[in-house]
Amino acid sequence: MNGKILETENVTVSFDGFKALRNLNFNMDAGELRVVIGPNGAGKTTFLDVITGKVQPTEGRVLFKGRNTKRLSEHQIARLGIGRKFQTPRIYLNLTPWENLEITCNRNKNVLATLFGNSPSEERRTVAGLLETIGLSAKADIKAGLLSHGEKQRLEIGMLVAQSPDLLLVDEPVAGLTDEETYNIGELLLALAQSHSILVIEHDMEFVRQIARKVTVLHEGSVLCEGTIEEVQNDPRVIEVYLGS
């Protein structure tokens, strides 16, 4: 895919007069892996909410694949090709990783595929491939409730990928994970970035250094600066915002 996958133009979101986002201008290319950081209250969650249609911009507009998403419901925007991973995994704990992925694949099959294909063997290959990508082939048949926190996060990322979104929104995927689990999530996102556009919100700077090519810093609802991790870390405005918070 060429061009911009996501653009926000002068987006403001007001809650009872308080501006959680202020004239936010952001864009990212198709195929990019972008990390958005910012101190608490910077507007990161609201930013994801306005992209997914959970909240509407008070002013400005959001373009996904060049299309203005105004007046579309959350469900319609998801169907345009945006998948969102929340901080807490939303997986079926009583089912196995295999079953979790199978259900997600089935739910996202279109009507024609349901009537004429995919064949069961194709479906099995898809699920097996996803399990390999997320590193859970060996745990395909145990209850998901028995997985470690990091494995659950990877399973949910696999379920997101099973929906074939054009843009993956990933909210703080490594909160509460061990160093090893954090590293594994980073490697998984880097692998997925070969074939997906990914926007990650994250606090853990070690993790940001592992995955980020380009970082956007949000502050008080606007973009404070953008650049490589080295550029933003050395930016005096960023240092002030973080030390001051």
Positions that interact with ligand ADP (CB under 6 A) = 15, 18, 20, 38, 40-46
Residue among 45 and 233 whose Cβ is closer to ligand ADP = 45
- Rounded to whole angstroms, what are the CA distances from 103 to 42, 82, 96, 99, 123? 36, 19, 11, 6, 11
Q: Which is nearer to ligand ADP, 41 or 81 (CB)?
A: 41
Q: How far is the CB of 107 from ligand ADP (least distance, A)?
A: 29
Transcribe 132-201 into DSSP letters.
HHTT-GGGTTS-GGGS-HHHHHHHHHHHHHHT--SEEEEE-TTTT--HHHHHHHHHHHHHHTTTSEEEEE
Q: Residue 205 phi/psi, 5° resolution?
A: -70, -30
The minimum distance between CB 171 and ligand ADP, in angstroms, equals: 9
For ligand ADP, the closer of residues 17 and 120 by Cβ is: 17
Least distance to ligand ADP, CB of residue 88, Å: 15
* Residue in the structure block whose two tokens are 């594994």: 184
- Our CB check for ligand ADP shows the closer of 20 and 193 to be 20
Q: How far apart are CA 85 and CA 173, in angstroms?
A: 8
CB of 220 vs ligand ADP, minimal distance in Å: 9
- Cβ closer to ligand ADP: 54 or 143? 54
Query: Is the separation of the CB atoms in 170 and 208 below 8 Å?
Result: no
How many residues are given for the chain?
245
Task: For the CB of residue 47, give the shortest distance to ligand ADP in the complex, in Å.
Answer: 7
